[in-house]
């Protein structure tokens, strides 16, 4: 059961709130329709229920508010608007990624694909789906964790009549298994055909809460619509015949040549027109909507009794925006996110191509040291292509979460939890190391083929150079991840990577050269003196090598930038939790 109590939106400036003190319940085993014209406040009510926007009120899902549920997706399946997925991801890949997010086996994706009729398009990209197929996918996302309750905003939008009947059958089957279904619609006929109970909103207020039979009787009336050049005469004849037969007939004249006849049938109206020689252009049976206030208050049965009365105050409690839970399996989620689109492959191919061309040009000039030659890093470049590519992949890792918030199918905020951050740092770090050494190997082979083995000699200090190289590339990737997570943008993440050599390195160099700061020369020797004794397995050598790497301008700038970005990320995350 879903119980919504006192839902009220925050007023905007001097305007009244879009939703004002709405209370109702959706019962288990039933389909409940939230009916209202466009602008009546249906979507706002759903967002307040799901704690996606601030306001007042509280909503209980089987006795507990949503923010007290450890895994809301297992309790409530949500469909609001279009599916927020990456356009290049496949339907099956998107659902498998969400399986890791909600903590269900990957095979569940195939089960819901078959249930919603998408098994034939499972390998299609999301940007190729029609509006109707997108609604099918949205329903699949809502059903993925097998929730007890479904909260859907206009789920039949964009569906054909046949698909609409299929959708209503799915909702009815879910309710028959004991689940709760609440869907918003603007079509009273859809509500009457699908729901067991209809809750009507008008201008943000609840005006009726009715069983579907009472709703159909008071809100919907059958009528016959007729178009005729002699509509006025036909109307008079229908009224006269009704009086003679002692029947109640209501005639409404519309648009000059159009009549709406209530209380009669097509057969009776057509026979009257034929008997009197009246030309008829069109005649049809219709269901008329009598407006949102028709029968309002006839069956007021919305419950405002909360499961925990001691927690409620006379005024509805303030309603904050809940944060989205982090993926239950963050590493599995991140691997599927990164490999589900071709971004990594495209960036790697571009890095290899650019790096090979730059290495050849450097070898032809004959002025670059061997380390810079294999890394394709001219003095004029702020960073080598591999480091820029790794930074871009890091920025995309978090930037795509905000651009295509797949973790927040209900449009909640993208999670900034440490588990998700750790998964992104691990995956991007491993990817960056692979890209770094793949680039060096590719440059080595290209130089060997074009200029011979002499142009592709391995440096004598290859171990320390390789460690520095891997550390720089991983640092760029992590800087991209952290900056994109802080500023919610891929562009900002890449800008933070470029800022390291362009901005931070000159500042650091100036600080080290200033008279008030001691020189960094000999820092490795001083470190050896500081540790006092030899480390096991020669560990002091690796520590000294790491310090030498940090003591370099780019290494030190990266270390400072990563420390500042990590601190900023943790600060913003903690501040969000306090709110």
| 180 and 60 part of one domain | yes
Choose the weakest-confidence range: 165-169, 427-431, 463-467: 463-467
| 352 and 414 part of one domain | yes
Q: Examine residue 455 and state whether it is found in any structural domain, yes or no.
A: yes
Q: Closest Cα partner for 24 from 42, 7, 47?
A: 7
Largest CA-CA distance found in the chain, in angstroms, rounded? 117
**Predicted pLDDT of residue 517:** 45
- Percentage of the chain beyond pLDDT 70 is 85
| 338 and 429 part of one domain | yes
| 51 and 139 part of one domain | yes
Q: What is the dihedral of CA 233, 235, 240, 245, to 10 degrees?
A: 140
| 165 and 256 part of one domain | no
**Predicted pLDDT of residue 314:** 57
Asked if pLDDT for residue 529 goes beyond 60, the answer is: no
The helix/strand/coil state of 6 is strand
Choose the weakest-confidence range: 114-118, 207-211, 467-471, 533-537: 533-537
Asked if pLDDT for residue 218 goes beyond 90, the answer is: no
As a whole number, mean pLDDT of residues 287-300 equals 62
**Predicted pLDDT of residue 305:** 47
What is the DSSP secondary-structure string of 69-135?
Answer: -S-GGGTEEEE-SS----TTSBHHHHHHHHHHHHT--THHHHHHHHHTT-GGGTTSBGGG--HHHHH
- Rounded to the nearest angstrom, the gap between the alpha carbon of residue 198 and the centroid of all alpha carbons in its chain is 29
Residue 226 is inside which H or E element, if any? Answer: strand 220-227
Instruction: Out of 116-120, 149-153, 190-194, 555-559, give the one with best mean pLDDT.
Output: 149-153
As a whole number, mean pLDDT of residues 25-48 equals 93
| 182 and 236 part of one domain | no
Asked if pLDDT for residue 253 goes beyond 90, the answer is: no
Domain interval for residue 167: 2-217+294-319
Q: Examine residue 468 and state whether it is found in any structural domain, yes or no.
A: yes
Q: Examine residue 222 and state whether it is found in any structural domain, yes or no.
A: no
Q: Examine residue 286 and state whether it is found in any structural domain, yes or no.
A: no
- Rounded to the nearest angstrom, the gap between the alpha carbon of residue 298 and the centroid of all alpha carbons in its chain is 40
| 379 and 465 part of one domain | yes
Q: Examine residue 152 and state whether it is found in any structural domain, yes or no.
A: yes
| 30 and 121 part of one domain | yes
pLDDT in tens, 172-183: 999 999 999 999
| 36 and 99 part of one domain | yes
Six-digit token string for 11: 């007023």
| 407 and 444 part of one domain | yes
pLDDT in tens, 369-384: 777 888 888 888 888 9
The CA distance from 473 to 468, in Å, is 9
Asked if pLDDT for residue 509 goes beyond 50, the answer is: yes
Q: Is the pTM of this model over 0.85?
A: no
What is the DSSP secondary-structure string of 256-278?
Answer: TTEEEEES--HHHHHHHHHHTT-
Asked if pLDDT for residue 548 goes beyond 90, the answer is: no
pLDDT band at residue 315 under the 50/70/90 scheme: low
The helix/strand/coil state of 412 is coil
The helix/strand/coil state of 389 is helix
Asked if pLDDT for residue 277 goes beyond 50, the answer is: yes
The helix/strand/coil state of 2 is strand
The total number of structural domains in the chain stands at: 3
Q: Examine residue 154 and state whether it is found in any structural domain, yes or no.
A: yes
pLDDT band at residue 512 under the 50/70/90 scheme: low
What value does the mean pLDDT of the chain take?
84
Q: Please give the residue that has the higher pLDDT: either 579 or 358.
A: 358
pLDDT band at residue 296 under the 50/70/90 scheme: low
Q: Please give the residue that has the higher pLDDT: either 254 or 56.
A: 56
As a whole number, mean pLDDT of residues 455-472 equals 77
State the CATH number of the domain containing residue 137. Answer: 3.40.50.300
Q: Examine residue 223 and state whether it is found in any structural domain, yes or no.
A: no
| 14 and 98 part of one domain | yes
Produce one character per residue of 344-382: b if its CB has 16 or more CB atoms within 10 Å, e if not.
Answer: beebbeebbebbbebbbebbeeeebeebbbbbbbbeeeb
**Structure letter (DSSP) for residue 500:** I
| 499 and 558 part of one domain | yes
**Predicted pLDDT of residue 389:** 96
């Amino acid at each position: 059961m879903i119980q919504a109590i006192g839902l009220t939106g925050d007023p905007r400036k001097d305007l009244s709130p879009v939703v004002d003190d709405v209370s109702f319940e959706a019962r288990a085993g039933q389909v409940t329709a939230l009916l209202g014209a466009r602008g009546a406040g249906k979507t706002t009510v759903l967002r307040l229920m799901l704690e996606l926007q601030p306001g007042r009120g509280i909503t209980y899902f089987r006795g507990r508010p949503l923010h007290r549920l450890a895994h809301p997706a297992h309790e409530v399946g949500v469909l609001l608007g279009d599916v927020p997925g990456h356009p290049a991801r496949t339907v099956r890949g998107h659902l498998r990624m969400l399986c890791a997010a909600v903590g269900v086996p990957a095979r569940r994706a195939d089960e819901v694909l078959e249930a919603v009729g998408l098994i034939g398009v499972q390998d299609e990209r999301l940007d190729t789906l029609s509006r109707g197929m997108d609604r099918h996918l949205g329903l699949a996302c809502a059903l993925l964790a097998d929730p007890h309750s479904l909260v859907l905003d206009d789920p039949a939008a964009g569906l054909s009549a046949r698909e609409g009947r299929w959708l209503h059958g799915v909702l009815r089957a879910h309710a028959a298994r004991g689940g709760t279904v609440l869907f918003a619609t603007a079509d009273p006929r859809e509500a009457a055909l699908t729901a067991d109970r209809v809750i009507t909103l008008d201008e943000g207020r609840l005006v009726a809460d009715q069983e579907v039979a009472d709703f159909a009787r008071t809100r919907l009336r059958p009528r016959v619509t007729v178009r005729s050049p002699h509509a006025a005469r036909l109307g008079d004849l229908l009224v006269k015949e009704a009086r003679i037969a002692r029947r109640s007939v209501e005639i409404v004249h519309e648009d000059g040549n159009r009549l709406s006849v209530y209380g009669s049938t097509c057969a009776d109206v057509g026979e009257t027109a034929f008997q009197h020689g009246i030309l008829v252009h069109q005649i049809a049976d219709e269901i008329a909507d009598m407006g949102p206030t028709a029968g309002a208050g006839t069956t007021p049965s919305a419950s405002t009794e909360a499961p925990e009365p001691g927690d409620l105050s006379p005024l509805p409690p303030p309603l904050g925006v809940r944060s989205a839970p982090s993926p239950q399996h963050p590493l599995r989620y991140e691997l599927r996110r990164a490999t589900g689109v071709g971004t990594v492959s495209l960036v790697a191919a571009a890095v290899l191509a650019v790096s090979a061309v730059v290495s050849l040009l450097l070898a032809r000039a004959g002025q670059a040291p061997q380390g810079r030659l294999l890394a394709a890093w001219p003095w004029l470049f702020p960073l080598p292509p591999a480091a820029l590519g790794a930074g871009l992949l890091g920025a995309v890792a978090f930037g795509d979460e905000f651009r295509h918030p797949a973790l927040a199918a209900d449009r909640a905020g993208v999670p900034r939890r440490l588990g998700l951050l750790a998964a992104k740092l691990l995956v991007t770090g491993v990817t960056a190391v692979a890209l770094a050494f793949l680039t060096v190997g590719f440059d080595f082979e290209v130089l060997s083929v074009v200029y011979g083995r002499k142009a592709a000699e391995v440096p004598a200090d290859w171990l320390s150079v390789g460690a520095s190289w891997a550390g720089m590339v991983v640092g760029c990737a992590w800087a991209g991840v952290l900056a994109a997570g802080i500023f919610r943008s891929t562009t900002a993440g890449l800008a933070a990577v470029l800022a390291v050599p362009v901005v931070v390195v000159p500042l650091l160099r100036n600080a080290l050269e200033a008279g008030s700061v001691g020189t960094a020369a000999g820092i490795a020797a001083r470190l050896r003196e500081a540790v006092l004794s030899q480390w096991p397995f020669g560990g002091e050598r690796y520590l000294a090598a790491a310090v030498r790497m940090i003591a370099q301008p780019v290494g030190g700038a990266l270390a400072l930038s990563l420390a500042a970005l990590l601190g900023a990320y943790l600060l913003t995350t903690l501040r969000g939790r306090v709110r």
